[in-house]
Amino acid sequence: MSTDFILPDIGEGIVECEIVEWQVKEGDSVQEDQVVVEVMTDKAVVEIPAKFDGTVTKLYYAKGDIAKVGEPLFAIDAEGGNAPATAESKPQPAAPADSKPEEITKSSASNGTATDFILPDIGEGIVECEIVEWLVQEGDAIAEDQVVVEVMTDKAVVEIPAKSDGTVGKLYYAKGEIAKVGEPLFAIVEAGSAANDSATAETPSANTAAPSAASAPAVASTARPAGGEFEAPQPAAEGKALASPAVRRRAREANIDLTQVQGSGKKGRILKEDLDKTASSTAAVQSTAPASSAPASSATVAGGTRTEPVRGVRAAMARQMAESVRTIPHFTYAEEFDLTDLRIMHAKLKAQYAEQGVRLTLMPFFIKAMSLALSEFPIMNAQLNDDATEITYFDDHNIGMAVATKVGLMVPNIKQVQNKSLLEVAEEVNRLTAAAREGKVAQADMKGGTITISNIGVVGGTVTTPIINKPEAAIVALGKVQTLPRFAADGSVVGRDMMVASWSGDHRIIDGATIANFNKRWQQFLEDPMQMLTVMR
């Protein structure tokens, strides 16, 4: 008996995630705790394991789709019936005609199992909409992407398409009624459902009210029911292509201009078959074109664009940076550091500890020296509340490192640096850097930072104006280390290893003199490592 795995709460405030990679296919056998899928939240990539042994029977999302917390992620057939008792299902009787949407998640029909289509989130802040017009009736055969209903929000009229082929089982609202986001809108008996499917219809567990599998994207079907009712083909409105998000994404991937596609759906709606026909005809034209014309046509292509959604970590970074600049008055302070002596000491220690399997970079020195300076300037390790009425001082120095990753910028932080040795800091730097580059930083490592270091020098920068990682009060960006000519005490010119540190501070609680004095103390520790060793605990 197949059981739906419900996407659990994977972090405070996280309501959705993107499918990064499925580690299994439908039909694969899995074991308890085996990783089934990797998903990306707005903070990190998370691995989702199986809860028991069994066989994967259905993957409700494709790679790149957005999955909702609390909705089915995949279905698994437990081996030997060893699924938890709360996840097992019992047959359900057919739903009565007067059932309310809240009381129905699945209902059986004579020719298959009816599953509810849950009204999705159709706009930021929109929680309900009015039924403008049903374009189908109960009992009608419908095809994937066929428009079922038009609803009106407080901003526009929106067309809601079917996610799979099937037959309309029930319309839960009448024209003019108000439908709620997240509640069933209509029920559909999917094409190909067995007559005895109702005997295995699943019910939510006693502890978790699981939404129906129909609320997750159905697996795309290439077959269309012969009885599907369509109007005669009509052209779309001039300059506008009528198509579902799935069709639009497929068109982008195939580099097809939707305004040049003739839609065969109702009101000229473009279906997936229309894209296939367009792609086929384009390929035929290209194959019959003279070979000599190919280079000329490729040489004249210009002005192309590509649009992709901002999701996950990049979306979170965009919101965080915009909020930081909007609410915090930034000011910048920069100073040049002479790291010649530090690099000499680092080279000796690096070789020594490399023999012991410890990778020692310059970053642990920067972090530990900053912690020593923070002990003398606690305001740099403080945070101001949103209405600027209270300052909170933190005893722990949780120093963050900005790391560029394949999924966007991440800022994990090393906890309680004031209590760690230089080698312990180095171990944490290596652990967090490796995890961040894989996009798999634990939530605990992302929270609670008090100040941040960004190392732009690894990509060649020298001076910058970093954006504060709100709600922290300051951030520093390290430029690249360069061997530059400088005057020695006797007037001779010597080569010194120089680096610029660029600070941004919250001018509501930090003034120029404070950040200059703090930076000077940090600079002393780094330019003369012996000073750092004398005060290090």
Is 274 in the active site? Answer: no
- What is the DSSP pairing of strand 474-478 with strand 451-455? parallel
Q: Which residue has the tokens 């080569």?
A: 495
Q: Which pair of tokens denotes residue 328?
A: 């915090």
- Cis preceding-peptide flag for 290 (omega within 30 of 0): no
Q: CA–CA separation, 373 vs 273, rounded Å?
A: 65
Q: CA–CA separation, 138 vs 140, rounded Å?
A: 6
Secondary structure class of 277 (helix, strand, coil): helix
Give every CB contact of residue 277 below 8 A, 6+ residues apart in sequence: none
Class of residue 478 by CB neighbours under 10 A (exposed 0-12, middle 13-18, buried 19+): buried
Q: Which pair of tokens denotes residue 10?
A: 């994977």
Torsion sign over Cα 323, 325, 327, 331: positive
* Catalytic annotation, pick one of 9, 33, 395, 511: 511
Is 330 in the active site? Answer: no
Q: Which residue has the tokens 């057939």?
A: 77
55 contacts 26 by C-beta, under 8 angstroms: no
Q: How far is CA 62 from CA 38, 39, 217, in A?
A: 12, 11, 8
Q: How many helices (H) and strands (E) does the chain have?
A: 10, 27
511 contacts 333 by C-beta, under 8 angstroms: no
Q: How far is CA 452 from CA 455, 476, 487, in A?
A: 10, 7, 33
* Catalytic annotation, pick one of 346, 396, 507, 528: 507
* Nearest residue to 202 (alpha-carbon basis) of 84, 324, 373, 55: 84
Q: CA–CA separation, 416 vs 420, rounded Å?
A: 7
Give one DSSP letter per residue of 382-437, joined into a string: EEE-TTS--EEE-SS--EEEEEEETTEEE--EETTGGG--HHHHHHHHHHHHHHHH
Secondary structure class of 353 (helix, strand, coil): helix
Classify the phi-psi angles of 416: left when phi > 0, otherwise alpha if psi is within -120 to 50, otherwise beta.
left
* Nearest residue to 77 (alpha-carbon basis) of 26, 114, 34, 39: 26
| Catalytic residue positions, numbered | 507, 511
